[in-house]
Amino acid sequence: MESKFFHHALKILRDVCIGCSHCMRVCPTEALRVRNGKAELYDNRCIDCGECFKVCPVNAIIIEQDDFSKIFGYKRRVALVPAVLLGQFPDEVSPNDVYNTLLELGFTDVFEVENSVDILKESINEYVQDIEIPKPVISSFCPAVVRLIQVKFPALVDNIMLLKPPLDLSAIFYKLLLIDQGVAEQDIGIFYITPCAAKIAAVKSPVGEEYSEVTGVINMDVIYNKVLRTIKQKNSDDPKTSNTSTINPQNILWSLTNGEANEVNGRCLAIDSLHNVIDFLEKLENEEITDVDFLEIRACDEGCAGGVLNSGNRFLTVERLKNRSKSLSVDRTDLPTSYEHSIEKYKSQIAERKAANPVKPRSMMKLDEDMGRAMKKMERVQRIMCFLPNIDCGSCGAPSCQALAEDIVKGKAAISHCIFLQKMMEQTRKLHPDHSFRIMESIWGKDRFKKDCNKGFGRKKDL
């Protein structure tokens, strides 16, 4: 079952935060405020996209992960590796070098996530062709997009494809494989190496499913640095392993922009980067876009190659993955039996579990659980907006006048937080200047108002 609240991988270190408001201004769902000189997260709005993480100038926002030592609590320790991890490394580091190093670091098994894509392709095309399904079908691959639709575009939740992404299918397959080999389920630990915060949140509190088969999540930048450092410490004369791979070359590109859309029949569009995604979804919600069968939507620029936890340049990552895809033989009939081939043996079992539960809206616009009270609060928001300046300056500690109005109605702010209305109330003697000053201190913190304006200036005219 879906929990009432989202799990969030993004955490704010209050001791480090300087209340600069950079994060508040870039958040696509207005999930951040500034209170007492520190950034504050509104859990019901955050989609773990990582935009705030990228702009924080003091690294006060972190992305939590499972401690690497957690893997040693299991006898079989499986690393689920996305193709974009391999694309981070320079050309002289082969995929097999990465796999072998992961085994040296403590994993007992390494499996590339995109190996399950072949099973998914057929299901997606069948899903899209179903005339009963609302069009366009929106890919469920990117958890940040799924959450974005839940909180900002709830009218579109029925368009989300109710099929689990490759990560879940690969985890299901590998657990089935190990159990058939006689491994007890409690001895199996499956760990995903993630390029983004949203997938951590998706594992910890899945949307559209009761639980995740993934045991834990490790940030890709951590693994990248561990692997690269280990490889560099090796003797250059050490024998190299062969670079034979049994993955379908097309599957390598699945997580990149157009990687999924290119495999779906009908009119398909691929949209990446959050500002493009929001603009497109607004048009879709307003019925300005029609006659589209399938939408591949990714929150990050260039798809998962642009994930916030990637260490490498996204454009170089895309180039490396495309080169790797071209270098692999499409004809794999002469290759030995492998995990990728054996996944076909579990096709029927995976098919039974490939469907996701319907996604429920979690509108950030919901002002009250009771419809009647919500309507009254909405009317009050509209009245308050008549008095606010509508310039979205952020001085009130909220990202927009609309956000401030909603906070006021919810009891989280006051109309006097608006600096323009403060000055008007001071002028009409409805608000004492000392009270006005204390309000600003409550938003931006007392330290911000302890500047010595005369320090460093020799004369008054220097100010």
pLDDT at 339 over 80: no
- Tens digits of residue pLDDT in 233-285: 876 555 544 444 568 889 999 999 999 999 999 999 999 999 999 999 999 99
Q: Are 308 and 54 in contact (CB under 8 A)?
A: yes
In 198-321, DSSP assigns E strands to 216-219, 268-272, 294-298
Secondary structure E strands in 128-222: 137-138, 188-194, 216-219
Mean pLDDT of 212-223: 93
Over residues 440-454, mean pLDDT? 81
User: Nearest-CA neighbor of 180 among 26, 349, 325?
Assistant: 349
Report how far residue 455's alpha carbon sits from residue 453's, in angstroms, rounded to the nearest whole number.
Answer: 6
Q: Is the peptide bond before 336 cis (omega within 30 degrees of 0)?
A: no
CB within 8 Å of 334: residues ≥ 6 apart: none
Dist. CA 107–CA 71, nearest whole Å: 8
Mean pLDDT of the chain: 89
As a whole number of angstroms, the distance between CA 52 and CA 22 comes to 7
Where do the domains of the chain lie, and which CATH numbers do they carry?
A: 1-64 (3.30.70.20), 68-352 (no CATH), 371-463 (no CATH)
The stretch 301-318 carries a mean pLDDT of 94
Query: Residue 186, CB half-sphere, CA atoms under 13 Å: how many?
Result: 0
Amino acid residing at 158: D
Helix %, strand %, coil % for the chain, to 5? 45, 10, 45
Tens digit of each residue's pLDDT (9 = 90 or more) over 126-155: 999 998 999 999 999 999 999 999 999 999
Give the range among 2-6, 81-85, 96-100, 247-251 with minimum mean pLDDT: 2-6
Burial 347-381 (b: 16+ CB within 10 A, else e): eeebeeebebeebebbebeebeeeeeeeeebeeeb
Give the pTM: 0.88
Token digits of residue 317: 């990552």
Whole-angstrom distance, CA of residue 264 vs CA of residue 295: 10
What does the block give as tokens for 112?
A: 């590339």
Whether the pLDDT of residue 45 is over 60: the answer is yes
Asked if 243 and 93 count as a contact pair (C-beta separation under 8 A), the reply is no
Q: In the prediction, which pLDDT does 241 show?
A: 47
Residue matched to tokens 């606010």: 388
DSSP 216-236: EEEEHHHHHHHHHHHHHHS-T
Q: Please, what sign has the CA dihedral across residues 64, 193, 114, 91?
A: positive
Cα–Cα distance for residue pair 165/126, rounded to 1 Å: 15
pLDDT the model gives residue 43: 87
Of 376, 380, 431, which Cα lies nearest the Cα of 402? Answer: 380
Q: Let me know how long the chain is.
A: 463
> Of 77-91, 364-378, 434-448, which gets the smallest average pLDDT?
364-378
Cα distances from 457 to residues 452, 453, 454, 460, in angstroms, run 10, 8, 6, 7
CA atoms of 354 and 390, how far apart (whole Å): 47
- Provide mean pLDDT across the span 78-96: 93
Q: What is the amino acid identity at position 76? A: R
Does residue 329 carry a pLDDT above 80?
Answer: no
pLDDT at 78 over 90: yes
Distance CA 28, CA 32 (A): 10
For residues 411-428, average pLDDT: 93
